[in-house]
């Protein structure tokens, strides 16, 4: 058998055809001269999950869907209601306290996918797991590229190295000296440690290394990803396919706004339908700070409200968003949202968020540090921005649109406070005179 060789696109097409014919992994492996475990791993690794129904039926994965008598559970939902029975709706599971997800028993054993299932198109309304050869090939190519870029270190590994290096670097020791004295505790090269320090991922900085600050910086981009395979299955193309299949699910865009390099950073969360934006001040531009904010919102809003407001998050390719599983699931492993990424250098794909950043720059120009500001200052700034009426909203403010779409209670949970129209100010003088916050 031709082991240790990568599968080609033609071979992936053959795998999909044989799965449709309900062939076993062993017979597929014999045909392709591959080990059956290779075929099994390929199918498991590149399974595409879609929440779609079947002919004439919407997606519904609730165990009680056949005998459910509930009606109009999501009456506050903005989606048009043409039917009353919740078992025919693909949104009511967000609001129903009796919802229990059912998983198909077929997916727990080979072939682990729905490709050859006769019920897939006409009877099944459960979550579909499919092996799609074109998607599998794209994910493989992306994984191959990602494996050759960036640093394969988790945040826990970074913290371990930080506790070892930072105290010694602050004593004036060199990285070379530390690496030689702690050879058994350091599983990375010296050059990797230099790059980590240069990215401000340690408590120690370049200033703590007297010779390093005199070196001329190299003109080379350094990429750091917590999970290098984070984009697989979460590309902008995957996002377009998902919203095409689920047009009623709203998109929430997220981005970072930097001041001076190495200083405090803003995380912005933008509700596209209402043009309303939240901003959170972070000490550094790392993924853990983003996870902490999402966890806090999930806790404060509650699972039902969070899943209603932010069922889908669209971000860019920054390293702060490169741990998607931690964003998508809560502490118990329950799925709370879906994360997708824009294409590299394509800020227009979340243009609504980018345009709203122009209001922030009216207060704090680009290149100015956020270090002197507190979260209260940032919240006051966003209250003024969200109270500013927009022509695209029918001359309503983002605050008014959020109140119309989700109700006043959710605005209170989000900490949004309206500013009277005549007191709205888009200049930094709001911090000098108290801003006229209308409690």
Position 218 scores a pLDDT of 59
Q: Is 220 within the bounds of a domain?
A: no
Shared domain for 314 and 249, answered yes or no, is yes
284: phi then psi, degrees, rounded to nearest 5: -150, 165
pLDDT at 196 over 60: yes
Shared domain for 19 and 166, answered yes or no, is no
Shared domain for 132 and 258, answered yes or no, is no
Top pLDDT among 71 and 132 is at 132
Shared domain for 275 and 129, answered yes or no, is no
pTM: 0.55
Q: Which of 82-96, 100-114, 346-360 has the lowest mean pLDDT?
A: 82-96
Shared domain for 173 and 282, answered yes or no, is no
Position 222 scores a pLDDT of 47
pLDDT tens figures, 363-400: 999 889 999 999 999 999 999 999 999 988 888 999 99
Q: Is 426 within the bounds of a domain?
A: yes
Q: Residue range 108-125: average pLDDT?
A: 88
With beta carbons less than 8 A apart as the criterion, state whether 124 and 102 touch: no
Shared domain for 333 and 400, answered yes or no, is yes
Position 227 scores a pLDDT of 56
Shared domain for 178 and 122, answered yes or no, is no
| pLDDT class of 25 with cuts at 50, 70, 90 | very high
Top pLDDT among 319 and 368 is at 368
| pLDDT class of 84 with cuts at 50, 70, 90 | low
Shared domain for 208 and 117, answered yes or no, is no
| pLDDT class of 347 with cuts at 50, 70, 90 | confident
85 SS3 class: strand
Alpha helices per DSSP H over 218-374: 236-245, 287-301, 303-309, 324-328, 351-363
| pLDDT class of 41 with cuts at 50, 70, 90 | very high
Position 437 scores a pLDDT of 39
Shared domain for 359 and 303, answered yes or no, is yes
Q: Residue range 209-222: average pLDDT?
A: 60
Shared domain for 110 and 185, answered yes or no, is no
| pLDDT class of 118 with cuts at 50, 70, 90 | confident
- Mean pLDDT (the chain, rounded): 83
**Range with the largest mean pLDDT of 132-146, 155-169, 302-316:** 302-316
Q: Which of 145-159, 285-299, 363-377 has the lowest mean pLDDT?
A: 145-159
pLDDT at 132 over 70: yes
Indicate which CATH number applies to the domain containing 382: 3.30.420.10
Position 96 scores a pLDDT of 72
- Identify whether 111 is preceded by a cis peptide bond (ω within 30 of 0): yes
Q: Is 72 within the bounds of a domain?
A: no
Question: Per DSSP, which regions of 19-79 are E strands?
Answer: 47-50
DSSP code at position 220: -
Among 433, 344, 414, 359, CA closest to 390: 359
Helices 25-32, 36-45: crossing angle, 10 deg rounding? 110
Q: Is 42 within the bounds of a domain?
A: yes
Q: Is 163 within the bounds of a domain?
A: yes
Position 436 scores a pLDDT of 41
Shared domain for 378 and 295, answered yes or no, is yes
Between CA 354 and CA 277 the distance in angstroms is 11
Position 1 scores a pLDDT of 46
Top pLDDT among 147 and 336 is at 336
Between CA 414 and CA 300 the distance in angstroms is 8
Q: Is 169 within the bounds of a domain?
A: yes
In the chain, pLDDT over 70 holds for what percent of residues? 85
Q: 396 - beta bridge partners?
A: 390
Between CA 276 and CA 398 the distance in angstroms is 5
Position 183 scores a pLDDT of 80
Position 203 scores a pLDDT of 85
pLDDT at 433 over 90: no
| pLDDT class of 78 with cuts at 50, 70, 90 | very low
Residue 386 lies in domain: 236-433
338 SS3 class: strand
pLDDT at 149 over 80: no
Whole-Å CA distances, 56 to 6, 49, 104, 390, 397? 40, 20, 20, 40, 39
How many residues are listed for the chain in this entry?
A: 439
Q: Residue range 83-111: average pLDDT?
A: 73
With beta carbons less than 8 A apart as the criterion, state whether 86 and 73 touch: yes
> 296: number of CA atoms within 13 Å, CB side?
9
Number of domains in the chain: 3
pLDDT at 259 over 80: yes
Residue partners of 262: CB distance under 8 A and separation at least 6: 200, 205
Count Cβ neighbours within 10 Å for each residue of 411-434 and write b for 16 or more, e otherwise: bebbebbbbeeeebbeeeebbeee
Position 439 scores a pLDDT of 34
Q: Which of 150-154, 344-348, 359-363, 377-381 has the lowest mean pLDDT?
A: 150-154
Shared domain for 178 and 310, answered yes or no, is no
| pLDDT class of 225 with cuts at 50, 70, 90 | low
Position 12 scores a pLDDT of 94
pLDDT at 330 over 80: yes
Among 126, 137, 141, CA closest to 46: 137
Q: Is 40 within the bounds of a domain?
A: yes
Whole-Å CA distances, 124 to 57, 106, 120? 9, 12, 5
Q: Is 188 within the bounds of a domain?
A: yes
DSSP string, 345-369: T-GGGGHHHHHHHHHHHHHS-TT--
């Amino acid at each position: 058998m031709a082991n240790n060789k990568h599968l080609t696109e033609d071979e992936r097409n053959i795998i999909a055809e044989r799965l449709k014919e309900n062939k076993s992994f062993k017979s597929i492996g014999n045909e392709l001269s591959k080990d059956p475990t290779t075929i099994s791993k390929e199918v498991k690794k590149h399974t595409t999950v879609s929440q779609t129904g079947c002919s004439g039926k919407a997606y519904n994965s609730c165990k009680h869907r056949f005998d459910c008598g509930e009606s109009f559970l999501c009456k506050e939902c903005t989606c048009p209601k043409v039917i009353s029975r919740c078992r025919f709706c693909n949104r009511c599971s967000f609001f129903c306290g009796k919802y229990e997800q059912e998983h198909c028993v077929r997916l727990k054993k080979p072939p682990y996918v729905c490709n050859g299932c006769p019920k897939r198109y006409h009877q099944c309304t459960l979550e579909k797991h499919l092996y799609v050869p074109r998607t599998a090939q794209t994910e493989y190519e992306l994984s191959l590229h990602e494996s050759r870029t960036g640093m394969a270190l988790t945040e826990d590994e970074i913290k371990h190295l930080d506790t070892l290096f930072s105290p010694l670097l602050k004593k004036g020791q060199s990285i070379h000296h530390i690496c030689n004295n702690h050879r058994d505790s350091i599983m990375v090269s010296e050059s990797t440690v230099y790059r980590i320090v240069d990215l401000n991922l340690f408590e120690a900085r370049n200033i703590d290394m007297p010779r390093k600050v005199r070196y001329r910086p190299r003109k080379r981009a350094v990429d750091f990803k917590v999970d290098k395979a984070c984009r697989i299955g979460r590309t902008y193309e995957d996002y377009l396919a998902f919203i095409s299949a689920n047009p009623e699910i709203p998109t929430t865009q997220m981005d970072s706004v930097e001041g001076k390099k190495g200083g405090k950073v803003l995380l912005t969360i933008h509700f596209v339908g209402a043009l309303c934006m939240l901003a959170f001040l972070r000490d550094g531009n790392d993924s853990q700070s983003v996870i902490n904010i999402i966890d806090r919102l999930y806790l404060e809003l509650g699972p039902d409200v969070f899943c209603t407001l932010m069922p889908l998050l669209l971000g860019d390719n920054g390293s702060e968003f490169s741990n998607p599983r931690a964003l998508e699931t809560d502490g118990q492993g329950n799925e709370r949202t879906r994360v997708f990424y824009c294409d590299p250098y394509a800020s227009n794909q979340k243009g609504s968020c980018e345009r709203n950043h122009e209001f922030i720059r009216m207060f704090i120009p680009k290149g100015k540090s956020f270090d002197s500001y507190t979260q209260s200052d940032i919240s006051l700034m966003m209250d003024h921005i969200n109270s500013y009426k927009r022509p695209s909203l029918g001359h309503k403010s983002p605050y008014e649109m959020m109140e119309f779409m989700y109700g006043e209670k959710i605005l209170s949970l989000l900490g949004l406070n309206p500013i009277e129209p005549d007191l709205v100010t888009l200049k930094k003088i709001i911090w000098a005179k108290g801003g006229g916050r209308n409690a």
